[in-house]
């Protein structure tokens, strides 16, 4: 023999993702950390703005939703299968519960019912948008068209 090794005929094992509860916690932590970092950056931006009150509400929502989308993306990348959508749903529920507790503590009422529902629906939509962007795509070999 020439010393070359024969390739194995065993199928390659798929990579295993992180466990379900761990993926939920990682997604929630990612959403909170990214959201808080963006909030800090936007606060520094608002410090230089001429009218910070007009932009503060919009930029805080943008920071929250971008953080939620990042959390959904990371959750889906960590689970490596369809259970990532369930993990994103639970992480979005936990984020909504934290936002509700924060609103109750700070007494941030004064908004209408429709805007409050839109606020919490936006959290879920951002998580699932991030999960959709983070899902694994099936790779198909490009077929050649015959002429």
pLDDT by 10s per residue, the chain, length 147: 566 666 666 655 556 677 888 889 999 999 999 999 999 999 998 888 888 888 888 999 999 999 999 999 999 988 877 788 899 999 999 999 998 888 888 766 567 778 888 888 999 999 999 999 988 777 666 666 666
- 129, 69 contact by CB (below 8 A): yes
What is the pLDDT at residue 19? 84
- 109, 48 contact by CB (below 8 A): no
What is the pLDDT at residue 12? 53
What is the pLDDT at residue 1? 55
Contact residues for 18 (Cβ-Cβ < 8 A; gap 6+):
26, 78, 79
What is the pLDDT at residue 57? 86
Contact residues for 52 (Cβ-Cβ < 8 A; gap 6+):
46
What is the pLDDT at residue 90? 93
What is the pLDDT at residue 95? 92
What is the pLDDT at residue 121? 92
């Amino acid at each position: 023999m020439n010393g070359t090794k024969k390739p194995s005929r065993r199928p390659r094992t798929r990579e295993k993702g992180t466990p379900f509860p761990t993926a939920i916690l990682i997604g929630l932590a990612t959403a909170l950390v990214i959201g808080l970092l963006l909030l800090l950056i936007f606060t520094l931006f608002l410090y230089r703005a001429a009218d910070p009150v007009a932009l503060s509400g919009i930029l805080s929502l943008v920071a929250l939703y971008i953080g939620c989308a990042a959390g959904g993306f990371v959750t889906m990348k960590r689970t490596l299968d369809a259970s990532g959508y369930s993990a994103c749903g639970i992480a979005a529920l936990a984020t909504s519960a934290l936002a509700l507790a924060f609103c109750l503590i700070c007494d941030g009422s004064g908004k209408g019912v429709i805007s409050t529902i839109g606020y919490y629906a936006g959290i879920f939509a951002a998580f699932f948008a991030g999960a959709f962007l983070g899902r694994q795509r099936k790779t198909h070999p490009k077929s050649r068209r015959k002429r």
